[in-house]
A = this chain, B = another copy of it.
């Protein structure tokens, strides 16, 4: 008896037997696996929005002038502004990359009808990857000519987009958290689509060993694809 109590204390929501899904607003008690309350789901969504927005806006903090004398001529300032062009580029690439990732998140959660604890945790791990991205962006903005900086960036993006794919899979697999489960064919197609972005970033890693610039151009094509369609 005592032992069961401690067990429950440690993992109060565990339950290996499948909980019958009542399908209605049964989210009132703490023990349920799935919650259908609108306000709770909105919090998950708006919290994610805030993390996305902050990560994107913090990218701009990496655009900084090198140290200049207190009074500069027009020519010197212009030269300094020009010398940091890789930072503009990396800002633009990362902003659009996180932005399209946000769009995918928005599209995914449009179909979500309920949530559970695992979704929240997966979402937080995904957001941890997103909010990490300003760091590789800053590295590539400063040392973009090196293969290592390019590979760090590609690897970070590959991990983040894999987490996005995992989130998609968790929500849609077995129609777990959606109102209407996807037909099997669409589910397979969607899964393939979600693997497109990590695949491109993974494939750009060997490319970067040969030419970092070529790898960066391959990412811009991903962005362009997201933009035009």
List chain A positions with a Cβ less than 8 A from chain B.
8-14, 27-28, 30, 35, 37, 39-40, 42-47, 49-61, 63-65, 68, 71-74, 77-78, 81, 91-92, 95-96, 99-100, 102-103, 106-107, 109-110, 117, 120-121, 124-125, 127-128, 131-132, 134-135, 138-139, 142-143, 145-149, 152, 180, 189, 192-193, 196, 225-229
Contacts and interface: CB of A to CB of B under 8 A. Distances in A.
B148 A39 contact: no
B35 A146 contact: no
Count identical subunits in the complex: 4
A37 to B, nearest CB: 6
Interface of A is mostly: helix
A50 B40 contact: no
A128 B90 CA distance: 12
Contact of A63 (B8, B13, B135): B135
Contact of A10 (B134, B152, B225): B225
Given A46-B49, A77-B148, A99-B121, 17 more contacts: A9-B192, A11-B228, A11-B229, A12-B193, A12-B229, A53-B54, A54-B54, A56-B127, A57-B58, A57-B131, A61-B134, A64-B135, A65-B139, A71-B145, A73-B146, A77-B143, A95-B131
